[in-house]
Amino acid sequence: MQQTDPDAVLRDFGRLVRERACLPADRRAPGPLRTGVDLGTANIVLSVVDGAGRPVAGASFPSTVVRDGIVVDYVGAVSVVRRLKAELEERLGCDLVQGATAIPPGILPGNAKAIANVVEAAGFEVADVSDEPTAAARVLGLRDGAVVDVGGGTTGISILKDGQVVFTDDEATGGTHMTLVLAGALGIPIAEAEARKTDPAAADEVFAIVQPVVEKMAGIVTRCLAGHQVETIHVVGGACSFDRFVPLFAKRTGRVVVRPAEPLLVTPLGIALYGNAGALAGRAS
Ligand SMILES: Nc1ncnc2c1ncn2[C@@H]1O[C@H](COP(=O)(O)OP(=O)(O)OP(=O)(O)O)[C@@H](O)[C@H]1O
Ligand SMILES: [Mg+2]
């Protein structure tokens, strides 16, 4: 079976997204293109992979139409996905037919249906609905260990053993929570706090303020891991981007903590690796 370095694949995908580029048609593996639609609280991301599960193109848009897996603006969500789909189709020179999506673990069936409805209404045949940290695990080729997806609205936890998901949970804490804490501590508007949070020049000041949020997340994850033999935690999602996030998480959970390249893009790419695409790409399906 072909083996791929997840970090190299993620860096390639990151470049395709940022440069609004695509893998040329003559370098794509045969088979239908598959699209993953990540309806996140902070970002909507579409990822396209070829018949071998390699990234072909992707597009991201900051958005507030979905919160914690719940569609709060259906028309707005459909419109964003439709627009990103059209943009990618133009770039790729072909139609995107099959699409998959993902939900935070444990959301109610009605909310999961609404997520799938958005993808369908945007013009996709919905081929798969997986849970978010499980999608991330496909990219990382993970068969054993834990994936913690620290997104904008929620923190999803998935534990795998021998390639099977044995535990999932989703907790209402994430990057938005950090922004609220920062805004309160500094007495500044939320939009300003969001900008300050991602300003590398303010990293030390910001982390000192949001550290209790990270410690709370680590406490939640430690409780979830109790009773499971997990040595390594893979952290993904935008809110784990801080340099000091990984060492603090390792200290508080007592586990080895690793963060792949392009943490914001891991779950979105994994959503596109549904069916046998994950296995084709040399990863756990
Ligand atoms: N460099 C950075 N430093 C700190 N936080 C960051 C950075 N980049 C992005 N974030 C935060 O990551 C969050 C977005 O991450 P992500 O795109 O994984 O979330 P999402 O998938 O939209 O949300 P969810 O999965 O909870 O629905 C935002 O809160 C954003 O502020
Ligand atoms: Mg997410």
* Cα–ligand 1 centroid distance for 45 (angstroms): 12
Asked if residue 3 has pLDDT above 60, the reply is no
- What are 45-84's pLDDT values in tens digits? 999 999 999 999 999 999 999 988 889 999 999 999 999 9
Asked if residue 2 has pLDDT above 50, the reply is no
285 pLDDT band, cuts 50/70/90, is very low
Predicted structure pTM score: 0.94
Asked if residue 281 has pLDDT above 70, the reply is no
| Contact partners, residue 65, CB within 8 Å, separation at least 6 | 39, 44, 71, 72, 73, 74, 76, 77, 80
How far is C-alpha 103 from the geometric centre of its chain's CA atoms? 10
How far is C-alpha 40 from the geometric centre of its chain's CA atoms? 8
* Cα–ligand 2 centroid distance for 82 (angstroms): 19
- What are 159-181's pLDDT values in tens digits? 999 988 899 999 989 999 999 99
Instruction: Name the fold adopted by 6-138+265-280.
Output: Nucleotidyltransferase; domain 5 (3.30.420)
**Ligand 1 probe mutation, 173, 198, 206, 217, most atoms within 8 A of CB:** 198
Tokens found for residue 222 = 């430690």
How many residues are present in the chain? 285
* Cα–ligand 2 centroid distance for 94 (angstroms): 27
**What percent of the chain is modeled with pLDDT above 90?**
86
**Ligand 1 probe mutation, 72, 80, 264, most atoms within 8 A of CB:** 264
Ligand 1 pocket member 152 (CB < 6 A): yes
Ligand 1 pocket member 264 (CB < 6 A): yes
Give the domain ranges of the chain.
6-138+265-280, 142-263
115 pLDDT band, cuts 50/70/90, is very high
Instruction: Name the fold adopted by 142-263.
Output: Nucleotidyltransferase; domain 5 (3.30.420)
Same fold: 6-138+265-280 with 142-263? yes
